Amino acid sequence: MEQTIERTGRAQEGGRPVPKRRGSSESRWGLIMVSPYLIHFVLFVAGPLGASLYFSFSDYDMLNPPRWSGLDNFARMGGDPLFWKALKNTLYFTVLFVPLQTLLALVLAVALNQKLRGLKWFRMAHFIPVISSWTVILYVADAIFNPRFGAANALLTRLGLDSQRWLQDEKLAIPLLVLIAVWKGIGYIMVIYLAGLQSVPGDLYEAAEMDGAGSYRKFRSITLPMISPTTFLVVVMSTITTFQAFEQIYVLTGRGDMSQAGGPNDSTMVLMLDLYREGFTFLRMGYASAIAWVLFMILFALTMLQLRVQKKWVHYD
């Protein structure tokens, strides 16, 4: 619409540039029209961002005004074993979670991409955990992994094996959290993959069949490359959400006593949880802000890396 108006304007003026006054009135209206968003952006996005950047260079306990402290917060990170442990735990969580969820979701999507009766119900069943809140998931997880009353230990005991502490075991805690997160998240990724699978043109498969390709060959040489943009999206997205993981770990490891979230012995302390405790429990908001910015830098770098590498394996037609 606007373009048409502008074009007609130009035609009338014989191709000369639109007079300035008229343009500025238009842009004023433009500004007014987008102002709700701009105001929101300045107040709730840019403002807090700037403030948090400032806090990250200051000593701020929330109860007193921030005091500029230069790079102290970032230096503190270097000598804070908990920060490094949290970073390590976050990476460990991501490295386990992203490939596992991506792979299983793909397998599931391929399996549920057949034309079978009742398929909708299977798809729906896998999607239910996605829309359940973490608090609900907690109860399900507890029914299985409760160290005394859970089904998992009951099974182990019946098989004559030693029962386990599960989430209370420093070595098992993160793998277990990953399993639970995969169970919850897989339905969502599956749906994205299903969309990807259904957009692969059928004639490609027909052509391959004429050339005598088997189903493995078709999957390997047609499906995988064709859905590689989907895989790329899924990997980038899950990496980011995994770095943000907070609620699930807070709820699952803090069960019954929130001060123990991140335990046992900080084995499930991830960056977001560390950041939250530093800021809101221990009142080191400056330090927490610094952690948030470092977290951002890490994610930014990771995403840039993924962008670089994608050229090697992602195919767009």
Summarize as ranges the residues that interact with another protein (CB under 8 A).
44-45, 47-49, 51-52, 55, 61-64, 146-149, 163, 165, 167-168, 170, 236-237, 240, 243-244, 255-260, 263-266, 272, 275-276, 279-283, 285, 288-289, 292-293, 295-296, 299-300, 303, 306-307
Nearest-approach distance from CB 32 to another protein, in angstroms = 25
Nearest-approach distance from CB 157 to another protein, in angstroms = 9
Whichever of 176 and 295 has its CB closer to another protein, that residue is 295
> In sequence order, what are the residues at sequence separation of 6 or more whose Cβ sits closer than 8 angstroms to the Cβ of residue 261?
249, 250, 253, 254, 273
Nearest-approach distance from CB 14 to another protein, in angstroms = 42
Nearest-approach distance from CB 121 to another protein, in angstroms = 32
Whichever of 29 and 84 has its CB closer to another protein, that residue is 84
Angle between helices 228-243 and 173-198 (to 10 degrees): 150
Q: Sign (positive/negative) of CA torsion 256, 257, 263, 269?
A: positive
Whichever of 112 and 251 has its CB closer to another protein, that residue is 251
CA distance 206 to 212: 10
Nearest-approach distance from CB 87 to another protein, in angstroms = 14
Nearest-approach distance from CB 27 to another protein, in angstroms = 25
Half-sphere exposure of 35 (CA within 13 A, CB side): 7
Whichever of 190 and 245 has its CB closer to another protein, that residue is 245
Whichever of 213 and 237 has its CB closer to another protein, that residue is 237
* Contact between residue 314 and residue 228 where contact means Cβ atoms under 8 Å apart: yes
Helices (H) and strands (E) counted in the chain, each on its own, are 16, 2
Nearest-approach distance from CB 57 to another protein, in angstroms = 13
Whichever of 219 and 280 has its CB closer to another protein, that residue is 280
Q: What is the 3-state secondary structure (H, E, C) of 43-90?
A: HHHHHHHHHHHHHHCEECCCCCCCEECCCHHHHHHHCCHHHHHHHHHH
Which residue, 134, 96, 125, 112, is CA-closest to 239?
A: 96
CA distance 97 to 106: 14
Whichever of 149 and 216 has its CB closer to another protein, that residue is 149
- In whole angstroms, how far apart are CA 242 and each of 48, 59, 195, 200, 292? 23, 29, 23, 29, 15
> In sequence order, what are the residues at sequence separation of 6 or more whose Cβ sits closer than 8 angstroms to the Cβ of residue 10?
16, 17, 18
Whichever of 132 and 310 has its CB closer to another protein, that residue is 310
Q: What is the residue type of 227? A: I
Nearest-approach distance from CB 178 to another protein, in angstroms = 19
Nearest-approach distance from CB 95 to another protein, in angstroms = 18
Whichever of 59 and 108 has its CB closer to another protein, that residue is 59
